[in-house]
Each structure stands twice: as structure tokens, then as C-alpha cells.
């Protein structure tokens, strides 16, 4: 870790391409050290086996990180049929090997059957907590505990490559979906079992892997170029409706005062209780909530913490 005196105020969102073998927290800490950022957090855990998109929030952007936990996710998953493991992935002990008497037609039918609203039992080898302790700690101690069924939604499964007994699928799913469990359930439906051999997250909400950088790429840059990679905090919120106001009304909002709806422009009809992104010109002010005929502060962004080079344009 850097000496505490070297930590500095860094604000913004880094789209990190997490490498294989690192936990999300380990990847976060490596990115934090590269930026010498005093405050950092991420928007949703990826297993060490998984690679791909891990949005890392620095400074004031951490105020909005939690909102991404509810976002839909997209994954590219490689699955091996015929082998069931203790962890549901390639790191676990092999529990059972079965013949794979499956063709592509049956595989596609199984994928369709697992699309839509489905129930999942979270795997024992996961970070989900039971009585304050992660499930993987129980699993490592040889214990199995009862887990509540989760209701999740698989928006789409697209078969990418087939070389049975291995196939690759692209999955668009709701929060809380375990792709390992999805792979195992598909294998059970096909009567041969399965486990996950590779997983890459390609999208989180409005953010995609195309704009992400690896730790090696970031380390090769100087400080100025590094900080130019940071996106503004509102990149996390692009799926929310937007409203704009003049500087006078913006100052009222910053002072904690409500703003009349007639003094703002919105990109959609306003509904009571609705949460919106608020802007003055190109400057992101924070989140506001529609209450009656007024907008009230929900969560403000300090105005000196937005990366100037990354402000949202007027057309956003």
C-alpha cells in the first residue's frame, strides 16, 4: 500500500477489465494504488475465475456505486457438459462424470427453457452471507447450509459456439443471477451435468467492456494520461431520466432548496417519486426526486469533483 500521505482526492469511474485469478477487491486495490486514490469502491463482485468489466469508482463517484448493483448484467460463459464439480466451475473437485448424449437441438431447447423468470438456489461456494458469514466459508469447512431460493430473470441466452461437450453462451440477466448455477441447471436438464469453465462479464447496465482497460494498460501510462481514463460519476446513471435547469435553480438545489418543476426541462414526463439526473448546462449536479410540483435533492455531487474533460455534453 502507498504511504497514507500519498493518497489523494481522485474522482471518477474507471472501467476496469479484471484479470483472471484476482478477486474483485484485489483488482480494486491494485487500481486504487495506480491512481493513489484516497477512496475507492466497485459496483458488483466478480469471482476470481471470472474476467471482464468491473466498474471502479473513485472519490465522490462512490456515492452512486450502489445504484449499479441493481443493473442487468451480460456475460460470455463457456460450459463443459458431462462433468459436475463441487464448486460449479473448473476450480472445484470433480464429483461426477457422465456421458454426453446431447445434440445441438437439445442444447438449444434447454437454453430456451432457462430463459425468462427462473428460480435459483445460490451455490455454497459464493460470497452470499448466512448469519454474517460468507457461504464459501461454510463450504470450505465441509458444511452445507440452507439457502433461500432466488427469483431471477434471464432476459436472453444466445448460443455462440458449439463444440460438444463444450459450448459458449452469451447471457443477459438480472441482478443476483449465478451463471455457475445456470450452467449446472442446464446440464441437469440435459441429463449429463455441467460446470462453468470460463466467464467474462461484458456489460453492466449501460457500461460495456469496449471502453475498459486492463491493469497493465493503466500501469503503462503517466499520471495525466491515467486520470484521462476516468469517466464522470453520472456514467453510472445513464439509464435514468434527465432534467436540466439554469444556474439560479441549480444554486437553489445545491443549497438544499427544492426547485419548481416549471423551472426545469425534462427528457420525459415527470411522475411523483421518480428519480432523475439533474444538470446545469453540461455539469452533473446529482440526483433529484420529483415530489408534487417540485424537485428535491436526493444525492448531490460536489461540483469540484467532476473530471472537467469528461462532462456530459448538452445532448446527453
Between CA 183 and CA 114 the distance in angstroms is 10
280/203 Cα distance (integer angstroms): 29
Least confident of 115-119, 216-220, 280-284: 280-284
CA distances from 10 to 17, 38, 231 (A): 19, 7, 11
Mean pLDDT of the chain: 89
β-sheet bridge partners, residue 96:
84
* Segment 214-228, tens digit of pLDDT: 999 999 999 999 999
Q: How many CA atoms lie within 13 A of 120 on its CB side?
A: 25
Q: What is the pLDDT of residues 118-158, one digit of tens each?
A: 999 888 777 777 777 777 777 787 778 888 888 999 999 99
Pick 301 or 51 by higher pLDDT: 51
pLDDT digits (tens, 9 = 90+) for 65-106: 888 888 999 999 999 999 999 999 998 899 999 999 999 999
d(CA 120, CA 76): 19
Q: Rounded CA gap, 32 and 24, in Å?
A: 12
Of the listed ranges 42-56, 152-166, 215-229, the one predicted with least confidence: 42-56
Mean pLDDT of 150-168: 97
Q: Which residues contact residue 250 at a Cβ distance below 8 angstroms, ignoring those fewer than 6 apart?
A: 278, 280, 283, 285
In the set 17, 26, 47, 70, the catalytic residue is: 47
Of 29-33, 159-163, 268-272, 274-278, the poorest mean pLDDT is in: 268-272
Asked about 47 being catalytic, the answer comes back as: yes
pLDDT higher than threshold 60 for residue 4: no
Distance CA 69, CA 230 (A): 20
Sign of CA dihedral 262, 264, 265, 266: negative
Identify the three-state secondary structure at position 233: helix
Amino acid at each position: 500500500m502507498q504511504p497514507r500521505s500519498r493518497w489523494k482526492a481522485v474522482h471518477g469511474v474507471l472501467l476496469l477489465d479484471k484479470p483472471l485469478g484476482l478477486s474483485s477487491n484485489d483488482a480494486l486495490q491494485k487500481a486504487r494504488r495506480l491512481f493513489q486514490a484516497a477512496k475507492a469502491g466497485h459496483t458488483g463482485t466478480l469471482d476470481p475465475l471470472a474476467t471482464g468489466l468491473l466498474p471502479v469508482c473513485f472519490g465522490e463517484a462512490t456515492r452512486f456505486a450502489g445504484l449499479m448493483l441493481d443493473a442487468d448484467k451480460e456475460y460470455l460463459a463457456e460450459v463443459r457438459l458431462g462433468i459436475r464439480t463441487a464448486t460449479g466451475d473448473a476450480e472445484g473437485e470433480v464429483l461426477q462424470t457422465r456421458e454426453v448424449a446431447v445434440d445441438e437441438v437439445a442444447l438449444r431447447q434447454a437454453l430456451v427453457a432457462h430463459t425468462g423468470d427462473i428460480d435459483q438456489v445460490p451455490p455454497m461456494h459464493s460470497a452470499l452471507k448466512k448469519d454474517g458469514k460468507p457461504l464459501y466459508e461454510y463450504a470450505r469447512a465441509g458444511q452445507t447450509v440452507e439457502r433461500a431460493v432466488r427469483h431471477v430473470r434471464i432476459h436472453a441466452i444466445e448460443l455462440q459456439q458449439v463444440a460438444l461437450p463444450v459450448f459458449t453462451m452469451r447471457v443477459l440477466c438480472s441482478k443476483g443471477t449465478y451463471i455457475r448455477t445456470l450452467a449446472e441447471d442446464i446440464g441437469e436438464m440435459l441429463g449429463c451435468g455441467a460446470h462453468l469453465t470460463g466467464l467474462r462479464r461484458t456489460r453492466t447496465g449501460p457500461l460495456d467492456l469496449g471502453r475498459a482497460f486492463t491493469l497493465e494498460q493503466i500501469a503503462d501510462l503517466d499520471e495525466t494520461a491515467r486520470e484521462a481514463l476516468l469517466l464522470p460519476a453520472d456514467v453510472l446513471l445513464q439509464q435514468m431520466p434527465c432534467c436540466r435547469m439554469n444556474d439560479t435553480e441549480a444554486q437553489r438545489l445545491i443549497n438544499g432548496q427544492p426547485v419548481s418543476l416549471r423551472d426545469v426541462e425534462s427528457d420525459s414526463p415527470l411522475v411523483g417519486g421518480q428519480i432523475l439526473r439533474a444538470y446545469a448546462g453540461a455539469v452533473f449536479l446529482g440526483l433529484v426526486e420529483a415530489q408534487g410540483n417540485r424537485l428535491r435533492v436526493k444525492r448531490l455531487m460536489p461540483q469540484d469533483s467532476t473530471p472537467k474533460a469528461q462532462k456530459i455534453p448538452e445532448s446527453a
